[in-house]
Amino acid sequence: MPEENDQRPGSRERLDPEQLTAALSSDDPTTRREAIDDFGALARTDPDAATDHVGAVAGRLADESLVVARGAAEALVAIAKERPDALVDHLDAIVESLSADAIDLSLAGAKLLAPLAVEHPDALGESADRLLEILAADDVPTPETAVPESIDRSEARQLVQNVQQETLERRQYVRRTAANALVAVVESDPASVTDVSALETLLDDTDPGVVGPALDTLGVIAESDSTIVRPALDSILDCLDHENRTVRARAVRTLGYLGEEAAVPALRDVAAEDDEKVSELAAETAAFLSDQ
């Protein structure tokens, strides 16, 4: 079996670790991409040695070459899982990658962010408002509206729909990752999110996977200081009528944290509905608010 650095037809010799940082700064995007590939291999086999080059790789997240930028995000995932501390100083660049127009890059950025939000939510505090901006600005099209009317052959239209559906699912993953990261951040520091009105707009989002975490984020903030969330009361109450059961349950829980007795009549209406799980929670929350 050939050694790792043996050259074979169609292959190249890997860079020594000490050469990586210089190669990542090369003017040649092919050289940068090869350096990213070698870093990824090093990160998988020796994360400790790879951490010496994390800063240089993180600096490529905004590379003018999409292939290099995406490769940097993908290569750093191994570090995020094994040595998350090494990425704390680069969270701004990681969060910013979620806003990329190229879905492959934003998806890779989301996969990189997810383990960091679990391990270091406190370090994401300064990025919380940016996460919220990215969520609020990201309009996700439905596959039905994205298929051009000029494509009239059924096979071609189906192919386009399949591609659009895959893109939609990837974009949903990115947005849901950002939304759940916000929950983790406010659980660490409820004051880290300052724009509650922007959070409120997310309650009208078409994706329940975003609405639910937005409700949870409001609930955590309300538990710390209910006066900040009080202006969003009507929007939270509207979520009691959401078609998604989990969203309804999260709305009930958020109202409990908010502590507004004005929510009791609406909660009692929910308590009278057939959905046993949500109705029991609503009844308990209504009783709790009435007894305050």
3-state secondary structure of 287: helix
Would you state the pLDDT for residue 284? 96
Would you state the pLDDT for residue 4? 43
Would you state the pLDDT for residue 161? 66
Q: Map out the domains of the chain with their CATH numbers.
A: 14-119 (1.25.10.10), 125-292 (1.25.10.10)
Write out 70-121 in H/E/C secondary structure: HHHHHHHHHHHHHCHHHHHHHHHHHHHHCCCCCHHHHHHHHHHHHHHHHHCH
Q: What is the mean pLDDT of each run of 10 residues along the chain (292 residues)?
A: 40 71 93 95 90 94 95 93 91 94 91 92 92 81 53 64 75 94 96 92 95 98 96 98 96 97 96 90 96 80
Would you state the pLDDT for residue 186? 96
**Residues 108, 70: contact at Cβ < 8 Å?**
yes
265: left (phi over 0), alpha (psi -120 to 50) or beta: alpha
Would you state the pLDDT for residue 27? 95
Would you state the pLDDT for residue 158? 67
Taking Cα atoms as reference points, which of 60, 41, 165, 48 lies closest to residue 103? 165
Taking Cα atoms as reference points, which of 203, 161, 174, 166 lies closest to residue 101? 174
- Show the tokens assigned to 219: 């609930």
